[in-house]
Amino acid sequence: MRLTPEMCTFTIECTPEDAPVRGNAMASGDDALDKEVEDQIIADLEWNEWAWCVVKVTCRYGRASGAQYLGGCSYKDESDFSSPDGYLPQMKAEAFEECCSDVESIKQSLEGIET
């Protein structure tokens, strides 16, 4: 049997970003525009955890798992992040590959164990 993404459980977590908004959210070359965007993100953080965050995508199959992180994110909400045109498909694929590697490691560690 070959592991497929459909056999796995994927989760998305939003956690606070440690990097400051100022100097990291925008680098357009237009200082006024950069400040405007940064001010808006800082204001949105009062009510929206997705305004400035680190996103973690985890793939699980049994005890095996794989995870991918993306920092410096600014989204309206989880559905905004989850757009098919965004980072989610790639992050899921990479988390799945990491999970497959973990499955293989677990399998190898069990080989040779007698029950």
Domain boundary assignment for the chain: 5-18+50-110
Q: What is the pLDDT of residue 1?
A: 74
Q: What is the pLDDT of residue 108?
A: 86
Residue ranges, the chain, pLDDT below 70: 115
Q: What is the pLDDT of residue 47?
A: 97
pTM: 0.89
Secondary element (H or E) of residue 71: strand 64-73
Q: How far apart are CA 98 and CA 59, in angstroms?
A: 8
Q: What is the pLDDT of residue 110?
A: 83
Q: How far apart are CA 14 and CA 71, in angstroms?
A: 10
Q: How far apart are CA 60 and CA 92, in angstroms?
A: 11
Sign of CA dihedral 44, 26, 24, 35: negative
